[in-house]
């Protein structure tokens, strides 16, 4: 018991208590929030037998090489009635000619060509709005031109979770597994973000989805005024719109393997960094409950590691600090492993403790950079 007496008499006792408090906060997030995705049981969730017509909407700008490979996979889905709308946003490659050929082969393909660069704001909100307004059906399913479905039942899987009260379905947009450490980092980051938005949706607090795999009702889009409230922001056609319209009562997730889409990840750290920086610009526009929930998790994570390192430097008993770290690590490993299995992710479980710290530092740096950069107002 000498070690316990040493701790209780330590001059750093208040810091130890703070460390234990943030450990508790982290455990609550992992076991009461993220566990909802980890232990998700699709068999207990109601599904719809109705196969309502679906409009798949895709925006493309100079995406010839992706469209020629991936668009036929979407046009040949096992689904009775659907259309595929591709909005060609003033591409200057051979996209126009490819889409014309595919339209002759696939009657369900509807092509909208924007010949002039009428998009006065950067991003795909303008062409996406055009595509949605041109759709025939109430149920919209969105993906990107560089994405492909995991199989021929993608539309059916996403559509199956629509019920009478459901207006939004959030899917998982994975990145293709490739050799290299950067690829594993990107896929872990994608998984970590999905753990948050899917688990919070299951907890009744949906706050975002990804445009690579997202479905909602057209009526909901028009009722919200489309993207007008955040039109000048480059990103946000997915997360800001969902943050505005999604509620616990009208939103469901679809994490099954047949509903996943894949896309090619960035091939250099610099390009991935720029992409992540752009995505993080939307977080400040989330609704207050979402900012508090996400902020508390990130803050407790930062304080946990900061205090752990500080107390080790100050000479606090290493067995106590190791025990605290291991308790959190075991919880993380269980939940992350289950989420990886759920979302068909592989080959980075042993690396996640290092990736977590690295991404925490990256997000912190991007947050500070955002304070001094020019912001686009909502």
* Residue 274: per-residue pLDDT: 86
The packing angle between helices 352-372 and 181-202, to 10°, is: 80
Q: Which of 12-16, 34-38, 298-302 has the lowest mean pLDDT?
A: 12-16
Q: Which of 25-39, 115-129, 191-205, 271-285 has the lowest mean pLDDT?
A: 115-129
pLDDT (average), residues 334-338: 98
* Residue 115: per-residue pLDDT: 81
User: Quick one: pLDDT band at residue 375, thresholds 50, 70, 90?
Assistant: very low
Contacts of 354 (CB under 8 A, 6+ apart): none
Whether residue 162 sits in one domain with residue 83:
yes
User: Of 272, 297, 316, which closes a domain?
Assistant: 272
Whether residue 83 sits in one domain with residue 22:
no
Residue found under tokens 């508790």: 24
Whether residue 217 sits in one domain with residue 118:
yes
Examine residue 60 and state whether it is found in any structural domain, yes or no: yes
Question: For the segment 5-29, what is each residue's pLDDT rounded down to a tens digit?
Answer: 555 446 678 999 999 999 999 999 9
Q: Which of 3-12, 96-105, 319-328 has the lowest mean pLDDT?
A: 3-12
Examine residue 284 and state whether it is found in any structural domain, yes or no: no
Whether residue 228 sits in one domain with residue 94:
yes
Is the pLDDT reported for residue 117 higher than 80? no
Whether residue 262 sits in one domain with residue 139:
yes
User: Quick one: pLDDT band at residue 376, thresholds 50, 70, 90?
Assistant: very low
* Residue 4: per-residue pLDDT: 53
Sheet holding 173-175, edge to edge: 147-149, 261-263, 173-175
Whether residue 262 sits in one domain with residue 169:
yes
Whether residue 51 sits in one domain with residue 168:
yes
Whether residue 172 sits in one domain with residue 55:
yes
Examine residue 281 and state whether it is found in any structural domain, yes or no: no
Is the pLDDT reported for residue 1 higher than 70? no
CB-based burial, 308-333: b 16+ in 10 Å, e otherwise: beebeeeebbeebbeebbeebeebbe
Looking at the structure of the chain, the number of domains it has is 2
Beta bridge partners of 263: 147, 175
Whether residue 128 sits in one domain with residue 218:
yes
Residue of 10 and 157 predicted with greater confidence = 157
Examine residue 377 and state whether it is found in any structural domain, yes or no: no
Residues of the domain holding 218: 45-272
Examine residue 22 and state whether it is found in any structural domain, yes or no: yes
* Cβ contact 146:71 at 8 Å: no
Is the pLDDT reported for residue 239 higher than 60? yes
Whether residue 315 sits in one domain with residue 253:
no
Beta bridge partners of 180: none
Examine residue 282 and state whether it is found in any structural domain, yes or no: no
* Residue 237: per-residue pLDDT: 77
pLDDT mean across residues, the chain: 90
User: Of 240, 272, 304, which closes a domain?
Assistant: 272
Whether residue 79 sits in one domain with residue 34:
no
CATH code, domain with 199: 3.90.550.10
Examine residue 111 and state whether it is found in any structural domain, yes or no: yes
Whether residue 261 sits in one domain with residue 317:
no
pLDDT (average), residues 60-88: 97
Beta bridge partners of 87: 59, 112
Percentage of the chain lying above the pLDDT 70 cut: 92
Examine residue 121 and state whether it is found in any structural domain, yes or no: yes
CA–CA separation, 259 and 152 (whole Å): 9
CA–CA separation, 343 and 338 (whole Å): 9
* Residue 235: per-residue pLDDT: 75
């Amino acid at each position: 018991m000498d070690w316990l007496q040493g701790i209780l008499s330590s001059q750093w006792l208040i810091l130890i208590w703070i460390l234990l408090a943030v450990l508790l906060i982290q455990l609550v997030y992992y076991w009461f929030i993220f566990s909802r995705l980890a232990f998700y049981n699709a068999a207990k969730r109601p599904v719809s037998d109705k196969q309502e017509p679906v409009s798949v909407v895709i925006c493309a700008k100079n995406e010839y090489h992706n469209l020629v490979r991936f668009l036929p996979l979407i046009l040949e889905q096992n689904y009775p009635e659907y259309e595929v709308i591709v909005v060609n946003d003033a591409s200057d490659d051979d996209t126009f000619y490819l889409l014309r050929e595919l339209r002759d082969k696939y009657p369900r393909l509807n092509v909208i060509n924007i010949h002039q660069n009428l998009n006065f704001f950067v991003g795909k909100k303008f062409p996406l709005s055009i595509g949605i307004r041109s759709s025939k059906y109430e149920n919209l399913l969105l993906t990107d031109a560089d994405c492909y479905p995991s199989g021929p039942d993608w539309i059916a899987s996403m559509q199956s979770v629509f019920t009478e009260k459901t207006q939004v379905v959030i899917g998982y947009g994975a990145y293709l597994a490739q050799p290299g450490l950067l690829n594993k980092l990107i896929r872990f980051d994608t998984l970590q973000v999905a753990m948050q938005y899917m688990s919070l949706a299951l907890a009744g607090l949906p706050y975002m989805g990804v445009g690579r795999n997202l479905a909602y009702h057209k009526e909901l889009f028009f009722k919200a005024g489309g993207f007008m409230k955040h039109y000048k922001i480059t990103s946000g056609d997915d997360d800001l719109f969902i943050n505005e319209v999604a509620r616990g009562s009208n939103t469901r997730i679809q994490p099954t393997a047949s509903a996943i889409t894949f896309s090619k990840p960035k091939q250099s750290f610099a390009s991935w960094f720029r992409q992540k920086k752009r995505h993080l610009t939307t977080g400040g526009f989330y609704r207050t409950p979402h900012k508090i929930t996400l902020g508390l998790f990130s803050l407790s994570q930062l304080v946990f590691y900061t205090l752990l390192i500080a107390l080790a430097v100050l000479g606090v008993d290493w067995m106590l600090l190791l025990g605290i770290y291991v308790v959190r690590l075991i919880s993380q490993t269980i939940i992350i492993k289950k989420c990886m299995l759920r979302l068909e992710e592989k080959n980075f479980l042993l690396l996640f403790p290092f990736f977590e710290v690295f991404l925490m530092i990256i997000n912190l740096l991007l947050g500070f950079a955002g304070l001094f950069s020019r912001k686009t107002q909502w």
